[in-house]
């Protein structure tokens, strides 16, 4: 067990921004919220998956809504807590552990805020190992954890409960429609699962990975080393392009920010172009028309000098960026997972998923800790 | 207590169609469903409000969605039952009585179907005494019954529960958004209220009124008398125009059928025009530009010969109709009610509500039964 302190919080926010792959919402406001709670004396314990009893009641909490709304609208911050309490009341049982639904972006910090309010430990794992635009795209749903019962709450503490729905995709549709009515942003609590289910389905060590990535970036900045290289060492990624943003097309479609970023090469990449398609998160990177990185592998834009993450909502003409390709966690690369988070699921049936070489940083941390070679571990 | 039989069911369907004031959905499919259940041996007891114990648990059940969808989409018919069971589970208590949310249109028959499936009695009363497009427009909400907890279910038995929302308008927005995702139609169960609350807030005797109106129409048709005159005698209404439909404008806006019907006068009304604005239900009737009937008073189009109701979804060029103006129930005419169901609430702040003379048929039935003069009874 370890505790989140202010320094680790800073690191996690940087790392979560990078793992957000352009989306997932900005962790900045969540970070400020958690920092305030820490300064007020809150303690936020983090436990690893192995420390969770099989009969624990693990609940994922966070926020739902388009990132563009997240920027414009200040939340109260206790919406996920209201959702959690409604879910507990429905279950007739209290949660024992919290888990992030996605480590990428704003949902990395929200479980910490709810931990500070409730005293519940946060599990060092999540349901994506990155960020994705839709809720059925988490490993909990992919590997058979029921998405319902589920609860949503808005800033006025209005609560909507989904006791039982056919599947995660139905929850995505119904919850998304309610979220739009809630002003575009809602706090959520779902799924509720046993400790055994969490151990079988969650992507392990991802809070640690975010923390390590953020710490490496800050150390490199402080020591005038290369922050981008530092990210690569921790995450297992590579730089697939360096260039300047020359065009951004962005539109809000059915609550999602969809669009395209075009880059003109710099340095070794001079004379080449890169085009990145996104839907909240970056999905496909093409170099001079050739596909080089494909979802679920992570495509992360970071500032070329500082490695500060550049999200799809703030990317703009003239920014000089490095495009990172980071191998996806093993749990996202099974046939079961690729059916839900592979290129076809995002509307690119013509693109084949060819995994980037290397090992996702979180999987590598598991291997380092338990002495095993990282492999494609558990499946549902 | 009385029982719904096939003949009374026929009458209720006709009467409910007229009281639907152009909207509320067609009672036809619901009637077929209830008739099948009756033929299979079901018994459907109807009790008056006075027979309901104060500590009863009364739940309103029915269907939500645009009438246009209702025509195109065949329901399973047990959606409101699934919603009811989810609501009961949430409350930890079983319902003792059912009550229609609106007597006008399809929601007149749905509680009878659920009664047939559960054995629960239906109360001879409803929340509107007619039909309205939005759920906060019922007398339960107007006179302070909490709209939540509330439940929705779709044909796949997906359930959405609203444990607590700020008000009925919020439920209307959230439930409408979910209903659209449910394919445009859902079964609902809400509000849940005590017997005392039902007695204080429901519009009394409206199943009896629909039954009496339908019976009078059928008797007149059989005896070659005037079915339109028969409707007037029972409901307390008057004919405000006779004419031919010369234009219909209709569009589906945010789940509602909005539009205008234009009539050219016949008989005594030759040379005059009538224009009727509707939003699912008929709202404002103007004769040569002068407002003659205003919501919440009922504006009902019926076939000039047969008194068959003509709904806004089937009204078309060439139909010869009588336009009936029926005084609204007393409970819809208080200042509290007019704030929610008066002309301003429908976007006509410039139109003053001047009540039609006469007494709503349901209120008159109460007076006939208990020997009192009908008056503006209880308020919230």
Banded model confidence at residue A373, pLDDT cuts 50, 70, 90: low
- What CATH architecture is B2-204? 3-Layer(aba) Sandwich (3.40)
CB contact at 8 A, B242 and B304: yes
What's the mean per-residue pLDDT of chain B? Answer: 92
Average pLDDT for residues B264-276, to the nearest whole number? 97
Q: Is the pLDDT of residue A254 over 70?
A: no
Query: Is the pLDDT score of A334 beyond 60?
Result: yes
CB contact under 8 A, B178 and A180: no
- Whether A180 and B177 lie within 8 Å, measured CB to CB: yes
Mean pLDDT within A51-75: 77
What gap in Å lies between CA A302 and CA A306, rounded to an integer? 8
How confident is the model at residue A67, as a pLDDT?
53
Q: Which of B158, B161, B177 sits opposite A161 (nearest CB)?
A: B161
* Mean pLDDT in residue range A126-152: 95
- What is the pLDDT averaged over residues A123-144? 95
pLDDT, greater one: B251 or A262: A262
Of chain A residues 61-90, which have a CB less than 8 A from chain B?
Answer: 86, 89-90
Q: CA triplet A112, A114, A119: central angle to 5 degrees?
A: 90
pLDDT at A380 over 60: no
| Residues facing residue B303 across a β-bridge | B321
Question: What phi-psi label fits residue A318: left (phi over 0), alpha (psi between -120 and 50 degrees) or beta?
Answer: left
Structure tokens at A348: 């690119």
Give A87→chain B minimum CA distance, Å: 10
What was the pLDDT predicted at B197? 98
pLDDT band at B255 (very low <50, low <70, confident <90, very high): low
The fraction of chain A above a pLDDT of 70, given in percent, is 94
pLDDT at A45: 98
Q: Is B98 on the interface with A (CB under 8 A)?
A: no
Which region among A76-85, B65-74, B296-305, B321-330 has the lowest average model confidence (pLDDT)?
A: B65-74
pLDDT at B312: 86
Residue A170: predicted pLDDT: 95
Residue B111 predicted with pLDDT over 60? yes
Checking if the pLDDT of B57 tops 50, the result is: yes
Alpha carbon of A177: minimum distance to chain B alpha carbons (Å): 6
Tens-place pLDDT, residues B181-209: 998 889 999 999 999 999 999 999 999 99
| Tens digit of each residue's pLDDT (9 = 90 or more) over B118-148 | 999 999 999 999 999 888 899 999 999 999 9
Q: Check pLDDT > 50 for residue A368.
A: yes
Q: Which of A79, A174, A184 to mutate to test the interface with B (most CBs of B within 10 A)?
A: A174
Region B266-280 average pLDDT: 95
The pairing of strands B320-326 and B298-303 is antiparallel
pLDDT of amino acid A376: 43
Superfamily covering domain A227-358: CV3147-like (2.40.390.10)
Confidence of residue B21 (pLDDT cuts 50, 70, 90): very high
Interatomic CA distance for residues B255 and B269, integer angstroms: 35
Query: For residue A24, what are its two tokens?
Result: 């997932």
Distances from the Cα of A334 to the Cαs of A338, A342, B46, B198, B229, in angstroms?
A: 6, 10, 58, 56, 73
Partnered with residue A361 across adjacent β-strands are none
Q: Domain limits of chain A?
A: 2-204, 227-358
Q: What does the buried/exposed string (b/e) look like for A234-244 if buried means 16 or more CB atoms within 10 Å of the residue's CB? A: bbbbebbbbbe
DSSP assignment letter at B24: S
Q: Which residue of A has its CA nearest to B92?
A: A90
Considering chain A, what is the average pLDDT of its residues?
92
Inter-residue contact A187 to A80 (CB < 8 Å)? yes
Contacts of B158 in chain A (CB under 8 A): 164-166, 170, 174
- Residue B369 confidence class, pLDDT cut points 50, 70, 90: confident
Q: Which residues of B touch A89 (CB under 8 A)?
A: 163
B227-359 in CATH: which number?
2.40.390.10
Contacts of B168 in chain A (CB under 8 A): none
pLDDT of residue A213: 97
Considering only residues A71 and A348, tell me which one the structure prediction assigns the higher pLDDT. Answer: A348
Tell me whether strands B238-253 and B203-204 are parallel, antiparallel or unpaired: unpaired
Segment B20-47 shows an average pLDDT of 92
Closest-CA residue of chain A to B90 = A90
């Amino acid at each position: 067990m370890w505790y989140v302190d202010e320094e680790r919080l800073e690191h996690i926010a940087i790392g979560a921004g990078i793992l957000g792959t352009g989306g997932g919402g900005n962790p900045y406001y969540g970070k400020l919220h958690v920092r305030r709670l820490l300064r007020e004396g809150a303690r936020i314990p983090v436990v690893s998956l192995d420390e969770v009893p099989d009969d624990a009641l693990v609940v994922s909490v966070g926020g739902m809504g388009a990132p563009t709304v997240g920027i414009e609208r200040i939340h109260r911050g206790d919406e996920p807590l209201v959702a959690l309490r409604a879910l507990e009341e429905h279950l007739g049982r209290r949660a024992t552990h919290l888990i992030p639904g996605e480590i990428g972006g704003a949902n990395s910090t929200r479980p910490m805020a709810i931990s500070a309010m409730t005293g519940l430990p946060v599990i060092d794992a999540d349901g994506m190992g990155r960020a994705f635009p839709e809720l059925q795209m988490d490993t909990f749903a992919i590997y058979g954890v029921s998405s319902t019962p589920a609860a949503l709450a808005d800033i006025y503490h209005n609560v909507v409960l989904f006791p039982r729905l056919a599947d995660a995709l139905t929850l995505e549709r119904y919850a998304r429609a309610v979220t739009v009515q809630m002003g575009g942003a809602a706090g959520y609590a779902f799924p509720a699962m046993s400790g055994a289910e969490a151990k079988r389905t969650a992507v392990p060590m991802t809070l640690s990975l975010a923390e390590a990535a953020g710490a490496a970036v800050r150390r490199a900045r402080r020591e005038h080393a290369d922050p981008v290289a530092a990210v690569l060492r921790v995450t297992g990624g590579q730089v697939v392009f360096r260039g300047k943003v020359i065009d951004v097309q962005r539109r809000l479609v059915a609550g999602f920010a969809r669009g395209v970023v075009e880059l003109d090469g710099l340095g070794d990449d001079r004379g080449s172009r890169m085009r990145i398609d996104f839907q909240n998160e970056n999905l496909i990177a093409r170099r001079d028309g050739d596909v080089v990185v494909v979802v679920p592998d992570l495509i992360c834009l970071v500032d070329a000098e500082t490695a500060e993450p550049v999200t799809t909502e703030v990317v703009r003409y003239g920014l000089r960026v490095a495009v990172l390709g980071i191998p996806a966690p093993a749990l996202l690369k099974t046939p079961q997972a690729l059916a839900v988070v592979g290129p076809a699921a995002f509307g690119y049936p013509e693109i084949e998923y060819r995994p980037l070489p290397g090992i996702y940083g979180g999987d590598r941390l598991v291997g380092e800790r338990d002495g095993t070679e990282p492999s494609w571990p558990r499946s549902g």
